[in-house]
Structure 1
Amino acid sequence: MPQSDDQSPVRMGLTELLLVRHGESQGNVAATMARQAGAHVIEVPARDADVELSATGREQALALGRLFADYPEEQRSAAVWSSPYVRARQTAELAVKTGGWQAGILIDERLRDRELGILDMLTSAGVEARLPEEAARRRWLGKFYYRPPGGESWADVVLRLRSLLLDLERQPGADRVTLVCHDALILLFRYILEGLTEPEILDIAATSTVLNASLTRFVRPDGAGPWILESFNMADHLVSEGVPVTEHAGDANVHPR
């Protein structure tokens, strides 16, 4: 272990963060169908926290686990943290079990998806038709700072992710950590870890859809200093096994205007 000038031990921090978006959920399918049909309301089968993986989502989680099984022991995460939402927990459980990892799964509510408040279950068309003043406010503020009544802005989510990262740094013996969460959170981890600006993260959000069961990897070999984005939104493990790669995009109108 590295020593400081006074010969006292210096604890190494995190060296790798592996970010996983959950597999395709029944809610993803319902939301895409509603948008394509021009519907105002998304017919989700349960409240957001209880929406399960689709059959395709389960296939994706199992394919992720088979990829994990190929990781050498020294490259496996010492800890796996998951959003408490069912679709993320199911992804984490299937992947860890299939991969034969010994890491326990820790549930943390700070990894939950962004809360939409009054906009919950509405498509963009539904917001425009039923809540035109909110639609106008969302356009004016942009996605980063717009907070729907009863919900969260992206800036609000950033605050809880910063808190989580501090706690991860304090975990003893966990230099590699896997986080299973949601698409907006993976983008906002990029905002924090890369030191991006609001326009920069919104540009990424407008042009990139985080794929279901995709991998995004940050590394920091010395356990300190700036993070390096090694890979973003990788789904090769799905393609190689013939598992469907699913793309469920959110609202692309993210910039303030």
Structure 2
Amino acid sequence: MTDQSPKTPPSIVLLRHGETQWNREGRYQGQHDSPLTLNGIGQIRAIAETLRPVIEELGRCQLWSSPLARTRQSVSIFCEQLGLSYADVLFDDRLMERSYGRWEGLTMGEIAARYPEDVKLEQSDRWNFAIPEGGECFADVARRLRNWLNEIPNDMPVITMAHGGSGRVLRGVCMNLKPENIFAFNDPQSSAFVMSETTTKTVQAAPQYLRAFGCADAGLGVRI
């Protein structure tokens, strides 16, 4: 990425919301919403327990979240599981998922049938293609996330609940990666990422916690 790297907090713990009904159906959500499944609730509880020693070691943290309903529900479950205060969570529109415009609520098959020209344009320039009818391009998402990073206090660690698309772009912004490297991220839904100025660590929800909380699987990767 060509933009200057933003200033960042000493550590960022980045999470993705749990599985939703539309995730299960393979539908693009963007800035529309669908509720968490029981599997998604279990995924958040499992990654919270897996991260417990990390959060305890970090000490006092700021809590941030996208304001969309699925991330609000996920961060509420995360806080309750770890005894953190949901009242302390700060919500920011810049953490929201990419707006997918007229694709939202559709499967990839439905998009290809209705809007084949969109698919061709997306494939030709995936980073800069803005989906019609209010959609964003990934470059737009990177700009708003960089602005968020530059404006938040950087004197304490941050825990952030985001989305599959916006989350991987945030990782790329923090690590100053090229778009092709950002698109290569495809970690399960119940993953977390602990990032500092010098290191990035991927944390997968521990299998024993996934089993304990009734999860059918570790969750989807980022398919979009």
TM-score (norm 2): 0.83
Deviation of residue 217 (structure 1)? 1.0
The equivalent residue for 1:98 is: 81
Instruction: Tell me how far apart the structure 1 counterparts of residues 28 and 135 of structure 2 sit (CA, whole Å).
Output: 20
CA deviation string 1:190-247 (max 9, x = no partner) = 2211111233323x2xxx423223111111xxxxxxx234213x3233x122243112
Deviation of residue 182 (structure 1)? 0.5
Q: 2:24 aligns with which of 15, 26, 29?
A: 29
Deviation of residue 62 (structure 1)? 1.8
Change (3 A) 1:198 1:71: closer
The equivalent residue for 2:40 is: 57
Instruction: Tell me how far apart the structure 1 counterparts of residues 52 and 122 of structure 2 sit (CA, whole Å).
Output: 43
Identity %: 24
Change (3 A) 1:110 1:123: same
Structure 1 residues 77-86 or 122-131, which shifts more? 122-131
The equivalent residue for 2:98 is: 114
Deviation of residue 76 (structure 1)? 3.5
The equivalent residue for 1:247 is: 220
The answer to whether 1:188 aligns with 2:169 is yes
Change (3 A) 1:156 1:245: same
> Is the CA contact (8 Å cut-off) linking 2:97 and 2:163 kept in structure 1?
yes
> Is the CA contact (8 Å cut-off) linking 1:68 and 1:95 kept in structure 2?
no
Q: 1:216 aligns with which of 187, 193, 196?
A: 193
CA deviation string 1:7-26 (max 9, x = no partner) = xxxxxx72100000111111
The answer to whether 1:235 aligns with 2:204 is yes
Instruction: Tell me how far apart the structure 2 counterparts of residues 43 and 182 of structure 1 sit (CA, whole Å).
Output: 12
Please show how residues 150-161 of structure 1 align to structure 2 within 5 Å.
150-161=134-145
> Is the CA contact (8 Å cut-off) linking 1:212 and 1:247 kept in structure 2?
yes
Structure 1 residue ranges (4+ consecutive) displaced by more than 6 angstroms after TM superposition: none
> Is the CA contact (8 Å cut-off) linking 1:23 and 1:212 kept in structure 2?
yes
Structure number, greater radius of gyration: 1
Structure 1's unaligned 5+ residue stretches are: 1-12, 32-41, 220-226, 252-257
Structure 2's unaligned 5+ residue stretches are: 1-7
Q: Which amino acid aligns with 2:220?
A: E
The answer to whether 1:124 aligns with 2:102 is no
> Is the CA contact (8 Å cut-off) linking 1:21 and 1:211 kept in structure 2?
no
Deviation of residue 146 (structure 1)? 1.0
Deviation of residue 72 (structure 1)? 6.4
Change (3 A) 1:72 1:211: closer
> Is the CA contact (8 Å cut-off) linking 1:68 and 1:96 kept in structure 2?
no
* Cα RMSD, aligned residues only: 2.5
> Is the CA contact (8 Å cut-off) linking 1:51 and 1:85 kept in structure 2?
no
Q: 1:139 aligns with which of 123, 134, 149?
A: 123
> Is the CA contact (8 Å cut-off) linking 1:21 and 1:212 kept in structure 2?
yes
Q: 2:13 aligns with which of 18, 23, 33?
A: 18
Instruction: Tell me how far apart the structure 2 counterparts of residues 43 and 161 of structure 1 sit (CA, whole Å).
Output: 20
> Is the CA contact (8 Å cut-off) linking 1:183 and 1:210 kept in structure 2?
no
